[in-house]
Structure 1
Amino acid sequence: MTPIISPELVQAIRDQFHINWHGIHGFSHLARVWANGLRLAPATGANERVVQLFALFHDSRRLSDGKDPDHGPRGAQLAEQWRGRYFDLADPEFDLLCTACRLHTRALTHADATVQTCFDADRLDLARVGKTPDPAFLSTDAAREPETIRWAVERSRKGFQPDLFGHLRPEENR
């Protein structure tokens, strides 16, 4: 796995974050989405670079922890602004990142495995708000595995914060 998340990118996300960095859509959530996505990617065939960046950008432009239907498209816009400054992706990868950000609250699934993995990585962290992920609303077989759901729910409920800068695989990051 090639790390694509830098401390500078995380700091830039934090500097423009509009909601509580330590809240339900804050850094711990972003880090768990990162770990969830990297756990799923080997089984789904998802592009790990896209999955990692999705974790940071998908909720990066929320204006509240409540209803905010346009936060995903705003996160995609931020990625567009920062491409070439904080990270680089080839056009096909970048299109997947923007698609996943724009649609993560609007679409149940998508035809592309990377976008599906991004959606599932986020949905597997629902236990932080008291909800157990429903397999019917997960896109990939890997995410629907009972062991994967148990793993994600336990970490979410405990408020576990993976180490993005250790760049360990999620199973090594306990």
Structure 2
Amino acid sequence: MLGIVSKDLVRAIRDQFQINWQGIHGLSHLARVWENGIHLAEATGANKKVVQLFAVFHDSRRLNENIDPEHGPRGALLAESWRGKYYDLSDEEFDLLFTACSLHTKAKTHVDRTIQTCFDADRLDLGRIGKIPDPKFLCTEAAKDLKTIEWATQRSISGHIPGNLLGLALQ
């Protein structure tokens, strides 16, 4: 699937990244969040452009690998400042992206299925830090499916690098 994320956007994200590009919140995590999100969007009907951009921006402004409660809002502001330069979204789509990035560590869920899908795409990659996602903390029925949790967790634990544009940037 050809997406909204360009090589120029990936380079720009990398160039401003403050933490280890290959760390637990680095590029392989972003690539798996993208893959998880696209997988879930097939079932949820989420906006795939927003899901892909969420994967790129949600952890893009972390200052450390540990507790950084404002990294989501900072990522949302970066997405806002690069809108029209590296990507284009309608106002409605951008509002979804901004909200998903801003709230992904603060809100348990949201009424919008695209935002729910973004939250779940990130939460399904907890295996990289030794945690198995608990269905009660997931938003969508697609993510709560035990086969989906097992699929995502195995990929996360093994350090799977997807073949999407983010994953290819690691090779």
Settle same-fold status: TM greater than 0.5: yes
**Which consecutive unaligned segments of at least 5 residues does structure 2 have?**
none
CA RMSD of aligned residues (A): 1.2
Tell me the residue number matched to 1:151: 151
> Following TM superposition, by how much is the alpha carbon of 1:165 offset from its aligned partner in structure 2, in angstroms?
2.8
Would you say the 8 A contact 1:29–1:125 is kept in 2? yes
SS of the aligned residue for 2:51 comes to: helix
Quote the residue 1:142 is aligned against: 142
The aligned residue for residue 96 of structure 1 is 96
In the alignment of these two chains, the number of paired residues is 167
| Structure 1 unaligned regions, length at least 5 | 168-174
Query: Measured at CA, do residues 71 and 4 of structure 1 come closer, stay the same or move farther in structure 2, by a change above 3 Å?
Result: same
Counterpart Cα distance in 1 of 2:26 and 2:161: 11
Q: Which residue of 1 aligns with 2:164?
A: 164
Q: How does 1:1-174 map to 2 (within 5 A)?
A: 1-165=1-165
1:170 alignment partner in structure 2: none
Relative to the length of structure 1, the TM-score reads 0.94
Distance, in Å, in 1 between the alignment partners of 2:17 and 2:55 is: 14
- Deviation string 1:1-32 (CA, Å, 9 cap, x unpaired) is 55101111001000000000000000000000
How much has 1:111 moved relative to structure 2?
Answer: 0.2
